[in-house]
Amino acid sequence: MEIASNDKVFAGSIPQLYEEHLVPLIFQPYADDLAARLARKPPRRILEIAAGTGVLTRAMASALPETSSIVATDLNPPMLAQARALGTSRPVEWREADAMELPFEDGAFDAVVCQFGVMFFPDKRAAFAEARRVLKRGGLLLFSVWDRIEENEFADVVTDALATLFPQDPPRFMARTPHGYHDKEAILHDLAAAAAGGKVQIETLAARSRAATHVSPAIAYCQGTPLRGEIEARGASRLAEATAVSADAIAARFGRGPVDGKIQAHIVSVQA
């Protein structure tokens, strides 16, 4: 899967809009789930990669005992700055770091976790190999990836709506990248090629995506993700129009006012 260079740009107002709209819409339920999984047998030293604005970091800080230390990293300084500004319920270490070239010693961590970041790695096997390198023997690699876009209703509706607005060159960021690494056999193949595992388990987990108004998911996807760059590349003044078209499409399917749609992801655990 090829990752376009702009697919990794989270800058300007995107981090704030991402945190305000996208985190409660789709990320919080899975952050709580991953933190709960770790809390069943809390690791002593945890590395989070692609932490974004820190939704999983905050969940782990609340769910895990203080004997579990957390190092949270991201390659994108604006996202990391947003995470730092929001803070956590107890101290964590924040570091700027590339998942494919981690600045840590071999075997430094008991667990490496990543919520919805793997899809953005240009070389997933290199990232898996790095995660394995910094894990202790018997350590845990735990990550989530989105299932195919058709199983994630708001993202699918927005993508289809934008295709009607830009029929000659539809923006495909959501299908291409966030929902572009859903094939479980491909994930298993990449893990094996990176020698990243022992025992691998993949669980497909559905959840609900809720917002107080039909407009919020449209803002979340059109303005709080790199999809914004794709829209603005087709006309700098068209962001508001694209957001409105997306909001109307969500309203047509889910109604105006409070909305509730399906989301679905794969949870992957690898015992090193």
Asked whether the whole model's pTM tops 0.85, one would answer: yes
What the block records as the tokens of 198 is 């022992």
- Taking 60 as the threshold, does the pLDDT of residue 243 lie above it? yes
pLDDT of amino acid 272? 79
pLDDT of amino acid 197? 66
- Taking 60 as the threshold, does the pLDDT of residue 70 lie above it? yes
What the block records as the tokens of 162 is 């934008």
| pLDDT, mean of residues 98-108 | 97
- Taking 80 as the threshold, does the pLDDT of residue 102 lie above it? yes
| Assigned superfamily of 5-271 | Vaccinia Virus protein VP39 (3.40.50.150)
- Taking 80 as the threshold, does the pLDDT of residue 1 lie above it? no
| pLDDT, mean of residues 82-105 | 96
pLDDT of amino acid 12? 61
What are the residue boundaries of the structural domains of the chain, listed by start? 5-271
- Taking 70 as the threshold, does the pLDDT of residue 5 lie above it? no
